[in-house]
Structure 1
Amino acid sequence: MNDEYAESAEFIDLLISPFWNDLAPALTEAIKTAAPGPVVDVGAGSGCGTAVIAEAIPEAEIFAVEPSAGLRTALLARVNADDSLRERVTVLPDKLLAADLPEQLGLVVAMNVIGHFSPTERQAFWELLAARLAPDGRAVLNLQPPSEPVDIPEAVAATRQVGRRRYEVRARARATSDTTLTWHMTYRTYQAETLVDERALNYTWHLVSESVLRGELARAGLRLHTTEPTDLGMFTITRAPA
């Protein structure tokens, strides 16, 4: 299985953590009244979201699904360092559609991940939700911009100082079809002002607009609801009324 994060896994937790300053309170609000039952964290990465879920729902059993071996190393380290997480979190080394999940789920969380799913994989995801969400269960996801096929010029996406070293990621994107972008990421490590390491990688991102998402969910018997604050692009998904 191709690991898109093989070159960047060691930097992801460092550079994505600041974005959770906004995401964490919004996600907590969206899930704190979730239905009882197992929780799935889709594309759990290094576990930032897993920790938020565990704090918001203190009794929940959580299945953290992460196919990248590098990211899973950070995820398992985070889980192992916390007694409560170690008791409640099962880490699964699979893609979501191949993961061994419970038959009924109270909550599914998919943050910063839906663009990794092709249209066919998204449809299978919605079918999984329709089949396994508890009657009063929900899913929570976010749509990251852009939703249209546009080129995005390179910019520094995040930077972090650790000891004497500064870590930086630069990102740019090129529209490769009507429904996909290719992201070009460059991870750099500096000691003082000296560049001591550089990694570059590319990956495909499938574009999803709110209207496309709403239509796909309706065909699967699901409903989409906006979640505040709207600038985070976060939504909840529930079963449509019978």
Structure 2
Amino acid sequence: MTDEYAESAEFIDILIGPHWNHLGPALTDAIKDIGPGTGPVVDIGAGSGRGTAVIGDALPDAEIFAVEPSAGIRSALLAKVNAHDALRSRVTVLPEEFLDSRLPDRIGVVVAMNVIGHFSPAERAEIWSLLARRLAPNGRAVLNLQPPSDPVSVPDTLTSTVHIGRRRYEGWARAEPAEDGTLTWHMTYRTFQDDELVDEREVSYSWHPISEPQLRAELDQAGFRLLALQPADLGMYAITWTDA
């Protein structure tokens, strides 16, 4: 499968960092009460490991399976895990696509941050089916929905700026609807030194927008309920059994 992040992997960790200043505390609040005996944690689309580190701190006794199919981004994930004494012995990094990964039979927590749009409706149905078979009775999944929830145009927007040494890194994003109901995101990564543009990379990938009502309906059919988490502007939700 083509690695959609091959060209942009070196920029992902630094540019997503500021967003985790808000996502991190919210994710901690969403999972910190899960007991160590509930089961291991699966981090879907773990990326460069920002969320994996948050999970490790929030659940210091949990085993974690970090799934990241992009080789470029996975190198940052592995480096982060290897450099963290508290993670090295309990985080297993899996290089396959999530639905092809070798996962434990019982799962306590599933985390899917900034990733659910990579899955088609049919693939989402497979994910809910997998959860129905493996999620512990008192377990939960946590995910976020990123706007827009419908396939509409998004103008070119500066999403993140980071300064490292004499260089400034910028991430830009715009989106256009495709005929099949998906969005095509066009990402531009610019590097400046002394305000001179010295590098520019452009990548595109498909995204399956999903609204809260649509997600709630899918989960209801699979036997789960969807709970909105705070703060509301982060679009985070917990998935639990209907009788939990």
Where does 1:110-149 land on structure 2 (aligned, <5 Å)?
110-149=112-151
Q: How far did residue 178 of structure 1 move?
A: 6.7
**1:111-144 deviation per Cα after TM superposition (whole angstroms, max 9, x unaligned):** 0000000111100011111110001110000000
Q: Give the aligned partner of residue 174 of structure 2.
A: 172
Answer yes or no: is 1:20 the counterpart of 2:20: yes
Q: Which segments of 5 or more consecutive residues in structure 2 lack a partner in the other structure?
A: none
Q: Tell me which residue corresponds to 2:235.
A: 233
How far apart are 1:241 and its partner, in Å?
A: 2.4
What CA distance in whole angstroms lies between the structure 1 residues aligned with 2:181 and 2:243?
Answer: 31
- The aligned counterpart of 2:76 is 74
The 1-side partners of 2:179 and 2:32 are apart by 38
Partner residue of 2:2?
A: 2
Q: Quick check: 34-43 or 100-109, which moved more?
A: 34-43
2:75 maps to 1:83: no
Match of 1:29 in 2: 29
Q: What are the ranges of 5 or more consecutive residues in structure 1 without an aligned counterpart?
A: none
Give CA deviations for 1:144-203 in whole Å, capped at 9, x if unaligned. 011012111101111111111111111110011473110001111111111111110110
Q: Residues of 1 paired with 2:233 and 2:166: CA distance?
A: 35
Q: Percent identity?
A: 65
Q: CA deviation at 1:42?
A: 0.3
Ranges of 4+ aligned residues in structure 1 off by more than 6 Å:
none
Give TM-score scaled by structure 1 length: 0.98
Match of 2:223 in 1: 221
Matching residue's letter, 2:19: F
Q: What RMSD, in angstroms, separates the aligned Cα atoms of the two structures?
A: 1.1
The aligned residue for residue 151 of structure 1 is 153
Could you say what secondary structure the match of 1:59 adopts? coil
Normalised to the residue count of structure 2, the TM-score between the two structures is 0.97
Separation of aligned partners in 2, 1:92 and 1:82: 18
Q: Quick one: distance in 2 between partners of 1:7 and 1:152?
A: 22
Give me the whole-angstrom Cα distance separating, in 2, the residues matched to 1:40 and 1:53: 10
The 5 Å alignment of 1:203-214 reads 203-214=205-216
